[in-house]
Structure 1
Amino acid sequence: MSTPELHQRSNNLRVRCLDLDTLDKPIALLRKDSPVCRSEGFDAHARVRLESLHDTVIATLFQTGSELLAPDEIGLSTAAWRALQVRDGQQIHVSHPKPLESISSVRGKVYGRALRACEFGAIMRDVVHGRYDDIQLAMLLTAIAARALDDDELFGLTDAMVGVGERLDWDVPMRLDKHCVGGLPGNRTTPLIVAIVAANGLVIPKTSSRAITSPAGTADTMETLAPVSLTLGHMQRVVEREGGCVVWGGSVGLSPVDDLLIRVARVMDLDAEAQLVASVLSKKVAAGSTHLVLDLPVGATAKLRSREDAERLGERLRSTAARFDLTAEIVISDGRQPVGRGIGPALEARDLLAVFQGDPDAPRDLADRALSLAGVLLEFGGKAEPGDGVRQAARTLESGAAWQKFQAICEAQGGLREPPKASRTEVVTAAHSGCVTHFDNRRLSRVAKLAGAPGAPAAGLELHVHLGDEVRAGDPLYTIHAETAGELGYAREFAGNNGDIIQTEADR
């Protein structure tokens, strides 16, 4: 604002921080008898525009009849407080937000009208500025899911998501990247791939997500080994120095609207193909990637249930990426069982360290998946002849060069550290003898989440068997790790009521 004065004093209120954690949702609280509520006709759950001397935010309003607040006070959630940059007792201006014109475009899509690029741009600008509430976001997501986007619309959505966030610019001609569409516990190949690729002199500035519905995201796992919440400048310095990084994408502002959409889609249990494609590619385009390898695991309890689903999604990803001059290679992989042994941030980090350090007991499946994907990137970058990428990746890992590079990346990000260990464990054993024939990835992930992952970094579970293993009754199938007795109890109870999470021949 140009002056220290706010608008008409009748709509100015003194602020109080309520220390209310609403994640990224700005919330405001007013007394029912507040003069502003009466003069403006604000009802509970109204959208209000809050303006301080520093910034403006759109918040959802709730009301109270208690004396928690004075009539001339407004309480703010932590998210609103931080956005407005205020202190207790300072004044802010409260008013109605401007009419949300872009919602008419969303309504048109509900009735089957194709959206133009300019309409996607207006929608995404309104979303990122907080003008859409959760109901309106749900309306947008439903329209995208129910009225499939054509190729032009998908490009328009992706481009609009890129346009409302930061965009990285690198002074090198080739920037490599990797992404997995998810749904497979323990599939934490990214740190291995980044280290292998960077050790070969290529540039791979990797931004990763935190867990959405899983027991660990790549950023959660990496955070047990090194800091991941870097500023944009710090991230760029790490990449300039070491050729690669593994940082949390949310800290550098890439495609910020994606996190807002994912939060609502998760509650709706909605997984629209167009949203997935736009989510993945908007972050890669914003990160400045030129070449990308995409891992699409297929399995009965993975996100993609059939090879046909994976091929269709892969083609959509590849063709949309090409419109951004982004070369994408699709790898359809086995998603029938978890990867490695650990499920949960610290346990997955220990698997990574075992692979990096050449431990003879390191999970071979994790190493093999990482080598296959890194091999594609090495061939992209000209560091391996066609067909020799996996062998070059293996040489880099076995020589110790990848481990040295990973340590250097961690130091550049703030220092390598030891993953924590849980204070409580309990073993889940086989009820019958036989050959392991099936994993329910989703319910196995739920055991890890009930144990406290990813909020408790040391929590999760450690697998002792894989498909094809012979077990006897009483043999350990997996060990639950937890940091509190209560969380261990929740996980143990769920595991006990779902004895077929890991099935043997005798169970089927």
Structure 2
Amino acid sequence: MKLKVKDIDIATGWPLVAVLNEFDALKLDLHYEDRIKIKKGRKSVIAIIDIADSKKIVSCGQIGLYEEVLTKLNAKSGNFVDIFLVEKPVSIQYIKKKLKGKKLSYKEFYQIIDDIIKNKLSEIEITYFVSACYMHELDIEETVSLTKAMINTGEILKFNKYPVIDKHCIGGVAGNRTTMVVVPIVAAAGLTIPKTSSRSITSPSGTADTMEVLCNVCFSIKEIKKIIKKTNACLVWGGSVNLAP
């Protein structure tokens, strides 16, 4: 089916979402949270669909695209795109398996994590996965499998130095910036301590937010390696890179 693009002018942040008019969705036998492949020229993306019951949002013959989808397709309002039906990710079956209390293999954990990384699962589906692991606790073998899957689906920094030090704390205490004190001390002692931190989660300002007052915290993998080579350490925002886990 060929549909006309309408720019929704909203960014979701994640995942990739497209909006269909309810009558077009009915023609294609599509339902909320189903997947479609959207193709424009040589570019294509797989998006999760939302359904509009009002033509004020998306009319028949139109497809509403959020900013992330528009960017990936290099599309704009008025362009035409082709729509194809696609199956839901197989990882959803593995999530259902865990919900039933069954044990998952490394291959199944890897598929789930890989689909999360590639934005193939919706927030609802990820919530089901977390809930399944909460209700049916992972045994030691599953814990190892999940950990390895998280490592193997992201980029890894390797150093020709030993040891490489890490530092963690539970966080959540406003103004408790231990990382900004500990990391320079460890680096000054001649040890290598690459540190990624989060932005605000439960407190008014996360470590990355606080550090950003003093300097930039968004760097590429190549830039991070250069900083560590020069200073023995880094203090960067983890969200700016695809490091494992």
User: Is the structural similarity TM-score above 0.5?
Assistant: yes
Partner of 1:16: 6
Higher relative contact order (CA 8 A, sep 6+): 2
Q: Distance in 2 between matches of 1:31 and 1:176?
A: 53
Normalised by the length of structure 1, the TM-score is 0.45
Partner of 2:199: 210
Q: Aligned-pair distance for 1:229?
A: 1.6
Q: Give 1:325-336 correspondences, 5 Å limit.
A: none
Alignment match of 1:116 (pick from 100, 105, 118): 105
2:169 is equivalent to residue 180 of structure 1: yes
Q: Distance in 2 between matches of 1:245 and 1:94?
A: 45
3-state secondary structure, aligned to 2:50: strand
Partner of 1:72: 61
**% same residue:** 32
Q: Aligned-pair distance for 1:45?
A: 4.5
Partner of 1:28: 18
Q: Distance in 1 between matches of 2:140 and 2:230?
A: 39
Task: Give unpaired runs (5+ residues) of structure 1.
Answer: 1-10, 256-281, 283-508
> Which whole-Å deviations, capped at 9, do the CAs of 1:41-61 have from their partners, x for residues lacking one?
223454333344334232232
Shift in alpha-carbon separation, 1:222–1:33, aligned structure 2, 3 A = same
Equivalent position amino acid for 1:30 in 2 = L
Q: Aligned-pair distance for 1:171?
A: 2.9
Q: Give 1:191-340 correspondences, 5 Å limit.
A: 191-255=180-244, 282=245
Shift in alpha-carbon separation, 1:16–1:230, aligned structure 2, 3 A = farther
Report the aligned-residue RMSD: 2.3
> Which whole-Å deviations, capped at 9, do the CAs of 1:9-50 have from their partners, x for residues lacking one?
xx233333322132223221223344xx34312234543333
2:117 is equivalent to residue 105 of structure 1: no
3-state secondary structure, aligned to 2:205: coil
Task: Give unpaired runs (5+ residues) of structure 2.
Answer: none
Indicate conservation of the 8 Å contact 1:50/1:59, yes or no.
no
Q: Aligned-pair distance for 1:62?
A: 2.6
Shift in alpha-carbon separation, 1:142–1:38, aligned structure 2, 3 A = closer
2:30 is equivalent to residue 42 of structure 1: yes
Alignment match of 1:95 (pick from 70, 73, 84): 84
Indicate conservation of the 8 Å contact 1:57/1:129, yes or no.
no
Q: Distance in 2 between matches of 1:169 and 1:85?
A: 35
Instruction: Count matched residues.
Output: 244
Q: Give 1:382-461 correspondences, 5 Å limit.
A: none
Q: Aligned-pair distance for 1:147?
A: 0.9
Q: Distance in 2 between matches of 1:152 and 1:93?
A: 44
Normalised by the length of structure 2, the TM-score is 0.87
Larger radius of gyration: 1
2:141 is equivalent to residue 152 of structure 1: yes
Indicate conservation of the 8 Å contact 1:58/1:97, yes or no.
no
Indicate conservation of the 8 Å contact 1:208/1:218, yes or no.
yes
